[in-house]
Structure 1
Amino acid sequence: MRAKVSRRLVIDASVARAAGGEDAVHPLPKQCRDFLKTTLSVGHHVVLTPAVSSEWKKHESGFAMQWRTTMVARKQSLYVNVPEDVELRDAIDGASATERDRRAMLKDAHLIEAAQATDHTVVSLDEQVRALFSAASTRVRALKRVVWANPGREEEGCPRWLERGATPHLHRRLGARRTVK
């Protein structure tokens, strides 16, 4: 099933690392595999910056490596060179409650920068950094537009969301009120 609108998704290496093969039965590897398969079949694009590509190559599972190769072959991968956004990083630095929080957000700031350069969508399993970015969004306005999806959380319904066009619903944006389990 092809989406009417193809979205450009920044998919974190955490998803690539967790994606299991066709025989995976445990929930997380299966959910990540199904998310990647749905992304491919629906026709969305994966955004690859040098930093994202490097993380993928270092951490991806065998299934994720095959998936990425297929995405490239089908021209569903978008290579972009996104410069470091000093203003964003300074704002994140100023919005950090602790040094540990600051380091965690700056480590993943490249995901936000890539999302801002494309369709404002990050896909990641990292709920801790999601919560940090969400809290920081009250002071860092640029974060408010970023949609964050976690395919490892069944209640988020990511495959169905992809099939319906990966619309940037308000409830998926950083800063939206939610309860984290």
Structure 2
Amino acid sequence: MSRFLVVDACVATSASTKQIPVSKICKNILDEVLKSTHKLVFNQQLQKEWFDHPSKLGIMIFSSMKSRGRIIKIDESGEISHLKEKVLVIKDRSRVPAIMKDMHLIEAALLSDKIIISLDKKARNNFCSILNDVQEISVVNWLNPEEPNENIFLWFSNGANYEESRALRNFVPQTTS
């Protein structure tokens, strides 16, 4: 079954054939997406990020996916617009700018299969910190390809299914460097 995946721009911009571990991992993730039947989901902000600081490989994957009809463009919907309003009034006001900067990932995920692939540990930690205030986001799966214990390649080989164990509500935030 095809999944609708939100792949953060940081994965696309990090992907290359260089022998740097994160570049290689991100390239392999994009290759997995390309050789599967899964689709990439983009809202306006995510597509802008992919193209603002493009990598050759990221653009090549986007173009290939588009020519195969596997790019899904979505509009932010009225049904989730209230989430930003909730973020603006969270208790920890210092997190609001960072959370708002990445809110488009959550919005795209909630309007598709609820799956985000991102290297951004701080963003995931920020979203986990507001689950009591914005409970709707707790269902989002967030996979970090750079984290070996998340077994993202095994997850892909098993169909890239939504897994309750990967939901933000079940993630224990880590300290970031």
Distance 2:99 2:91 in 1: 8
The 5-angstrom pairing of residues 75-90 of structure 1 reads: 75-83=69-77, 85-90=80-85
Secondary structure at 1:47 match in 2: strand
* Correspondence 1:121 to 2:115: yes
Whether the 8 Å CA contact 1:138–1:175 is kept in 2: the answer is no
Residue number in structure 1 paired with 2:145 = 151
Whether the 8 Å CA contact 1:135–1:175 is kept in 2: the answer is no
Residue number in structure 1 paired with 2:5 = 9
Candidates 87, 98, 107, aligned match of 1:92:
87
Whether the 8 Å CA contact 2:125–2:173 is kept in 1: the answer is no
Distance 2:50 2:34 in 1: 17
Q: Which runs of 5+ in 1 are unaligned?
A: none
Whether the 8 Å CA contact 1:16–1:59 is kept in 2: the answer is no
Distance 1:137 1:57 in 2: 30
Indicate the percent of aligned positions where both proteins have the same amino acid. Answer: 28
Q: How many angstroms does 1:27 deviate by?
A: 0.9
* Correspondence 1:103 to 2:111: no
Between 106-115 and 133-142, report the one with greater CA deviation. 133-142
Whether the 8 Å CA contact 1:134–1:176 is kept in 2: the answer is no
Candidates 31, 37, 46, aligned match of 2:25:
31
Q: How many angstroms does 1:141 deviate by?
A: 1.2
- The TM-score, its normalising length taken from structure 1, stands at 0.89
Q: Which runs of 4+ in 1 moved over 3 A?
A: 83-86
Q: What is the one-letter code of the residue matched to 1:7?
A: R
Larger relative contact order (CA 8 Å, sep ≥ 6): 1
Residue number in structure 2 paired with 1:176 = 170
RMSD of the TM alignment (CA)? Answer: 1.6
Secondary structure at 1:94 match in 2: coil
Whether the 8 Å CA contact 1:42–1:163 is kept in 2: the answer is no
Q: How many angstroms does 1:138 deviate by?
A: 2.4
Matched residue count: 174
Q: How many angstroms does 1:152 deviate by?
A: 1.8
- The TM-score, its normalising length taken from structure 2, stands at 0.91
Residue number in structure 2 paired with 1:139 = 133
